[in-house]
Structure 1
Amino acid sequence: MNSFISSSGEVSSDSTNMFCGQSNSTLCREIWAKTLLLQAQALVASLVCAPHFACITTSHRLVGAVCGLLYSTFWLVVYMQGVVASIRAMSDKTVGALMLLRDLPIIPCFIGLALRSVWAAYMCYKTRTLVVESEEPLVVDHQVKHVKALFAPLSKDVQHPTTLLEKLKRKVRSQLYPFFKLPTRIVSIAFVQLIVIYYAALTLTPIGVETRRLVIFFLSENTSERNTIIAIFEGVWITASLIGVISSVIYVILFVINYRHNVIYIYKGMKSSLMEGSSTAHKLMAQSLRLPGYQIAYIVWGLVVMFGAVAVIGAILAFGIFFLAKLNLLTSVLQSLAQTLSVPAITIGLFYLQVLFVRMFLMQPKLHPEDKGHLSTSTTGYMAYVGTLLVDNAHNNPCMRVFCAVLTRLSCREDQKAAYGIQFLPEPRTLGSNSRAARRWHLAYTLVKNPDLLSRRKLALLLTRGLEESVITYDAIDKAQSAGETNTNEVCILGMEVDSTSVSQVVLSPKQEEGT
């Protein structure tokens, strides 16, 4: 998974660099030409990074490791040379530092891929395996553990938590789901989102520098509060940037946590909380393919909206307090606001306190499928998320995969039985103290399931043992039948009754059978 994440980070970093550098291109003036150029650059970046995925997924492990090491080292050297050359060419140290920070996520990705290739080559040398079968296992280890945990009996000696700290610990542990692993696709999406947030934060820095220059340009040099206004502007800009970046990172973490929580509920069959959408397979697959694009768009727009809202509100509050303090009106304004807002603030606080009390002690949150969800169903991003959950449930449900693995094993056993033409016991068991009785029972079971072996066994016994000890002559049987005995005489073979008319007229004595 780490290798795929590193490769995805490399692709996203290259694509983001190309997107950020698109505005500086003077070759294309029209918007449609810039769009085509951007698509071509993204295609080139994907083709350049495609050999990394090929080296990771190939069945020829040693060849893939060597090629991956050489390819990663080559591009690492190329990027390092480009970064060093660009830093030397820049006269401004701030711009050089920004360029170094811009290329910083790509360098660890290349280093991680190179180390992964070295480890893969070492494992090939250690295990003496150069080629691995391309067939992937039907069930992964954590899926088997997940199903075993579902079938595990509950302990009767469970101690209920008494203190608040113990309750919180138990609640956190119950939400960890130790036998659940996130899909590689979801982890890659989260990693790409973090890279986009990183580049957005780097983009806000030069924008803030240019905006600060404009503020300084419009302020006259004779203004006594010039330094104070610049300091307020810098504080508001930095605060808005930090809040926007932190909120975006929290959104990524919540996305991963909610995805895990929702997919666990869907594994259990609880789909009532999901809004009904398209149910066809191809539509669900198409919706799941749109999820990465929607998540990246949500991250970008969320960061921009949060930054703008915090910047505007912070600027209004900061400059309002500054000018009120300058006019010596801050104390009177704060007193009047406190007197005016005290009554509604106390009323609203008591109202929400009552709501919190009722929700915690009198009412429990409950989701109904009848709840209105027009806004949710009209959002294509939400439907893409639902489609991804359903596709993941259809492909990676642990119970379904373990059940399919059991059926596959049983079908393989049935094919082996059909190939031999003999039905054996389902599972060979270890013999106990009464091994003779167990052997007799196994022999009887085999003879019942394979009637054609009955005559062969009798013939073998006739050849190995004398006819005078093991055969009742046909003359004796004819005399017995002529004397009026029944035609359905039953002979006992190992304690089992068999019709004498359907088998050869051979009877084994108990002493002879004990020797077998």
Structure 2
Amino acid sequence: MLPTYVWTAQTNSTCETSIDMELFLHYSLIPSFFIILVLSYLQRRVHHKQLDDKSYLLGIRFGIVMPLDFIGTFNNRWSYGIAFGATANKVMFLFSEGYQPLQVPQWAQAIVLLIGGIEVGLSHFPFFACLSSDFRLISSILGFVYSLIWFTITVLYIVQCPHGQLIGAYETVIFYWPSMLCLAFLLGRFVYMFVKALKIHLGLEVQNEERSFLEVHQAEHVKQLMRKPREQENEKSWFQRRIYEWDPYFQFPSRMIGSTVLAFICLYLFIIIEFCVYTYIVRELNVFEGGLESYIASVNDTGVLTPAILQIKELIDVAKGVWMLTIFSASLTCISYLFHILACYRKHIKRLWLGKKNFIPLKFHNPSSSNSVVAIARYSGWQIAYILWGYLIIHVVQCLFGVMIMYGLVLPIIHNQALEMLKGLGIGILTISIVVGLMVLQLKIAARFFLQPKIKPGDKQKPLALNNRIPSLDWHAVCGPLSHQPCTRWFLPYLADGQQRKETTEVHPLLALKSFIWS
């Protein structure tokens, strides 16, 4: 993959550094396991077993440390989200298959990537465990020390090799500043936790241990449903009606905040990687152009480039410009899609609160418990993969459309061929207009001649009922053209009285045929 080349080129740069980030990731498992053991020893197990009564050393210690509640926790949402953001660089390593701790054959690379993912998860496990532990004083100290280690090593790595071979100046800073910002936020968060836990330990502040069944915003949402809506609440601005309406009684859970923050940072890193690949390809194309011009100059004594060579150079220049321009449009599309995900999540959750499931496929109305748990665990990873691949596909498609616009509109004007371009454009517009006009004419004819009148004058459109009451019969439909075919009037009773004939026709609609004959 091309992103793998970028990571390799960045690692194998000419700059000499004493810090190897992959080697540090391996060694970071040692303090990570130490922190997990300490927090596990402090954590008490919920389920008491008979073996615990015989063990004087362990007792009911060594409980499982819950790093994060993915189902519905609303505490420390942004702290968990920033902790996810600190892992973005390593997630991109895994996504680009650039991080492989073991050298194995091709068929076993999936297993190695799984082992690498487990290693990355364990190395960043203390961030979440220290944020969620109930023993705030000890967990804040351990979390601060572990975050400080990561922050210090990353700063030293950036200071020793700030530049790179692809982007050039401050390439390492461009890649690592999101992780640095997240680690700095975690340092401040652990300091705040330590100060607050120390005040509680010294008795300067009372710890609030009450945990209600409903969150505060959920209780306010229920109160809002019980109140009568005001008339002013129905008046919404254009921004609220078309773009987004803020709801103070709704909060996104930590899994959505973490997934969104991680998706933003991974999208940023993916765009930087793509730009690095673009820089590498541009360099190769410049070398190709130089070699091509040298070859033409050696073959042609006049040194004049042929039209084919000029067209190739023009195509390369157009592709470069369009690719750079569409980076911004594709990025804005994916960023808007991330916000659209959050808006749809809130809308769907509110529908589920009301018991509405019609927007969900039938097979997902009653999912099994195991499928629900697995879906929650898969959501973040799959969503980030969809965002990254979606950006790449959108960028390629927009680039193709940009090249078509350049060759269809811009280049003809530059080459003084605007008249031919306008002539072709006019023919195309005329053809499309004729097709659209015929379609509109079909609708008008169907509404005018083939539909019955409106039932009520205030109706917006005519009813779906064909107007088949217009007599359009000829003699051959009533009496066959051949001599042996019987006429319809032979089967109708003879009515001398016109009034009786009218009443019978109303009772028997088939007698209308005889009225048509007599008329």
TM-score (norm 1): 0.60
The Cα shift of 1:17 comes to 3.0
1:212 counterpart (254, 262, 282): 282
Alpha-carbon distance in 1 for matches of 2:120, 2:288: 42
- In the alignment, structure 1 residue 187 sits paired with structure 2 residue 275: no
Is contact 1:22-1:38 (8 Å) kept? no
Is contact 1:142-1:179 (8 Å) kept? yes
- The DSSP-based 3-state class of the residue aligned with 2:213 is coil
Cα 1:261–1:348 change in 2 (3 A) is: farther
- In the alignment, structure 1 residue 300 sits paired with structure 2 residue 300: no
Amino acid corresponding to residue 144 of structure 1 in structure 2: A
Structure 1 partner of 2:432: 344
Amino acid corresponding to residue 5 of structure 1 in structure 2: G
Structure 2 partner of 1:244: 330
Is contact 1:7-1:109 (8 Å) kept? yes
Structure 2 partner of 1:101: 174
Structure 2 partner of 1:177: 247
The Cα shift of 1:188 comes to 1.1
The Cα shift of 1:101 comes to 1.3
Q: What are the superposed Cα offsets for residues 372-399 of structure 1, whole Å, 9 maximum, x if unpaired?
A: xxxxxxxxxxxxxxxxxxxxxxxxxxxx
Cα 1:191–1:286 change in 2 (3 A) is: same
Counterparts of 1:443-462 in structure 2, within 5 Å, are: none
Alpha-carbon distance in 1 for matches of 2:193, 2:80: 14
Alpha-carbon distance in 2 for matches of 1:70, 1:146: 40
Is contact 1:61-1:121 (8 Å) kept? yes
Is contact 1:16-1:196 (8 Å) kept? yes
Structure 2 partner of 1:277: 363
Alpha-carbon distance in 1 for matches of 2:318, 2:179: 35
Structure 2 partner of 1:148: 223
Cα 1:49–1:27 change in 2 (3 A) is: closer
Cα 1:108–1:341 change in 2 (3 A) is: same
Is contact 1:216-1:230 (8 Å) kept? no
- In the alignment, structure 1 residue 138 sits paired with structure 2 residue 213: yes
Is contact 2:102-2:112 (8 Å) kept? no
Q: What are the superposed Cα offsets for residues 453-502 of structure 1, whole Å, 9 maximum, x if unpaired?
A: xxxxxxxxxxxxxxxxxxxxxxxxxxxxxxxxxxxxxxxxxxxxxxxxxx
Alpha-carbon distance in 1 for matches of 2:340, 2:185: 26
Is contact 1:61-1:120 (8 Å) kept? yes
Counterparts of 1:375-394 in structure 2, within 5 Å, are: none
Is contact 1:61-1:131 (8 Å) kept? no
Is contact 1:59-1:133 (8 Å) kept? no
Cα 1:172–1:97 change in 2 (3 A) is: same
Cα 1:152–1:303 change in 2 (3 A) is: same
- The DSSP-based 3-state class of the residue aligned with 2:171 is helix
Cα 1:83–1:21 change in 2 (3 A) is: farther
Q: What are the superposed Cα offsets for residues 5-34 of structure 1, whole Å, 9 maximum, x if unpaired?
A: 1111122332213544627x7973633333
The Cα shift of 1:126 comes to 3.7
Cα 1:260–1:17 change in 2 (3 A) is: same
Amino acid corresponding to residue 377 of structure 2 in structure 1: L
The Cα shift of 1:344 comes to 2.1
- In the alignment, structure 1 residue 82 sits paired with structure 2 residue 126: no
Alpha-carbon distance in 2 for matches of 1:60, 1:95: 46
Alpha-carbon distance in 2 for matches of 1:252, 1:134: 36
Structure 2 partner of 1:309: 397
Structure 2 partner of 1:2: 78
Structure 1 partner of 2:132: 57
- In the alignment, structure 1 residue 335 sits paired with structure 2 residue 408: no
Is contact 1:98-1:202 (8 Å) kept? no
Is contact 2:81-2:258 (8 Å) kept? yes
Is contact 1:86-1:96 (8 Å) kept? no
Cα 1:35–1:320 change in 2 (3 A) is: same
Is contact 2:166-2:279 (8 Å) kept? no
Q: What are the superposed Cα offsets for residues 307-342 of structure 1, whole Å, 9 maximum, x if unpaired?
A: 111122222332455664576434212223224314
Q: What are the superposed Cα offsets for residues 211-247 of structure 1, whole Å, 9 maximum, x if unpaired?
A: 2233323333365958765542321111222222211
Cα 1:69–1:159 change in 2 (3 A) is: closer
Alpha-carbon distance in 2 for matches of 1:205, 1:2: 29
Structure 2 partner of 1:417: none
Amino acid corresponding to residue 153 of structure 1 in structure 2: K
Is contact 2:409-2:421 (8 Å) kept? no
Alpha-carbon distance in 2 for matches of 1:59, 1:159: 41
Alpha-carbon distance in 1 for matches of 2:124, 2:147: 10
- The DSSP-based 3-state class of the residue aligned with 2:421 is helix
Alpha-carbon distance in 2 for matches of 1:272, 1:336: 48
Alpha-carbon distance in 1 for matches of 2:380, 2:103: 28
Task: Provide the alpha-carbon RMSD of the alignment.
Answer: 3.5
Is contact 1:55-1:64 (8 Å) kept? yes
Is contact 2:162-2:173 (8 Å) kept? yes
Is contact 2:101-2:116 (8 Å) kept? no
Is contact 1:19-1:38 (8 Å) kept? no
Q: What are the superposed Cα offsets for residues 127-182 of structure 1, whole Å, 9 maximum, x if unpaired?
A: 44699688843221111111111112334x65875xxxx65366479942220101
Cα 1:27–1:13 change in 2 (3 A) is: closer
Alpha-carbon distance in 2 for matches of 1:173, 1:19: 32
Q: What are the superposed Cα offsets for residues 10-66 of structure 1, whole Å, 9 maximum, x if unpaired?
A: 22332213544627x797363333333322222221111111111111111111112
Amino acid corresponding to residue 110 of structure 1 in structure 2: L
Amino acid corresponding to residue 336 of structure 1 in structure 2: G
Amino acid corresponding to residue 392 of structure 2 in structure 1: V
- The DSSP-based 3-state class of the residue aligned with 1:22 is coil
Percent identity, please.
20
The Cα shift of 1:282 comes to 2.4
Amino acid corresponding to residue 80 of structure 1 in structure 2: V
Is contact 2:217-2:250 (8 Å) kept? yes
Structure 2 partner of 1:492: none
Structure 2 partner of 1:490: none
Cα 1:132–1:46 change in 2 (3 A) is: farther
Alpha-carbon distance in 2 for matches of 1:306, 1:34: 29
Is contact 1:59-1:134 (8 Å) kept? no
Aligned length: 349
Structure 2 partner of 1:485: none
- The DSSP-based 3-state class of the residue aligned with 2:167 is helix
Tell which structure's C-alpha radius of gyration is larger: 1
**Range that drifts further, 118-127 or 226-235:** 226-235
Amino acid corresponding to residue 70 of structure 1 in structure 2: V
- In the alignment, structure 1 residue 117 sits paired with structure 2 residue 193: no
Alpha-carbon distance in 2 for matches of 1:67, 1:349: 73
Is contact 1:59-1:131 (8 Å) kept? no
Q: Which has the higher helix share?
A: 1
- The DSSP-based 3-state class of the residue aligned with 2:123 is helix
Amino acid corresponding to residue 217 of structure 2 in structure 1: H
